[in-house]
Amino acid sequence: MFWRLYDHFGPQYWWPGQTPFEIAVGAILTQNTNWQNVEKAIDNLKKQKLLEPRAILELPPAMLAGLIRPAGYYNVKAKRLKCFVKFLEDVFQGNMELMAQAETTQLRQMLLEIHGIGPETADSILLYALGKPVFVVDAYTVRVLSNHELIDPALADYHDIQELFMDNLPVDTCLFNEFHALYVRLGKEFCKKRRPVCHKCPLKDI
């Protein structure tokens, strides 16, 4: 599946972001919205020179919510951003490079204890912002695997699906990065929730 998708789409160059911190912010803001809206919210922070941990931590919640309004659920996401940044400041002195030095399993558990950060967001931060070899499972992944009868979505939870990849593929950050990005591309263009384009899908005979 990986090579078929890679041959069809080419490299996806994920995750968009100039710094690990920007990528982490994007992972939190992208919950329940599309990436175009997240880009607008991040651009607002950049224009005000506020896309850094200390600046977000000191920003009044209402002002932060206003700046990230394009990402939707802005009051909720402002609180989640504040919680993440406080964790980053308290535990790693606001330094993403220092954070990346932590052991992956322990760090993942720490991220999951932060308000508003679930498995998909935590793993996105680990993989894309910190370069940890952790496979990210999202709705696109579930849909593709389900349609190709590799999982039963009614029985398989996030951890089960993640294990399918991590137990059967080389533990490789670049591979996990590219594979997840390719599933997203496939889900958007072919394996759609409504009106899937199965007859043109690069995986149609698998």
Cα–Cα distance for residue pair 80/47, rounded to 1 Å: 21
Report the topology of domain 2-12+135-200: Endonuclease Iii, domain 2 (1.10.1670)
* pLDDT at residue 2 in the model: 97
What digits encode the pLDDT tens for the residues 69-95?
999 999 999 999 999 999 999 999 999
The CA-based angle 22-23-24, given to 5 degrees, is 90
Count of residues making up the chain: 206
For the chain, which ranges sit under pLDDT 50?
A: none
**56-92 burial: b if 16+ Cβ within 10 Å, else e:** bbebeeeebbebbbbbbbbeebbbbbbbbbbbbeeeb
* pLDDT at residue 45 in the model: 98
When the candidates are 2.40.170.20, 1.10.340.30, 2.40.160.150, 3.40.1160.10, the CATH number that belongs to 20-129 is 1.10.340.30
pTM exceeding the 0.85 threshold for the entire prediction: yes
* pLDDT at residue 206 in the model: 86
Torsion angle of C-alpha atoms 187, 159, 131, 202, degrees rounded to 10: -20
Q: E-assigned strands of 75-136?
A: none
Instruction: Please state the domain extents for the chain.
Output: 2-12+135-200, 20-129
Enumerate long-range contacts of 110-119, CB under 8 Å, 24 or more apart: 111/87, 114/80, 114/83, 114/84, 114/87, 115/79, 115/80, 115/83, 116/28, 116/31, 116/76, 116/77, 116/79, 116/80, 116/83, 117/28, 117/80, 117/83, 117/84, 119/158, 119/159, 119/162
Q: Omega into 3 within 30° of 0, i.e. cis? A: no
* pLDDT at residue 78 in the model: 98
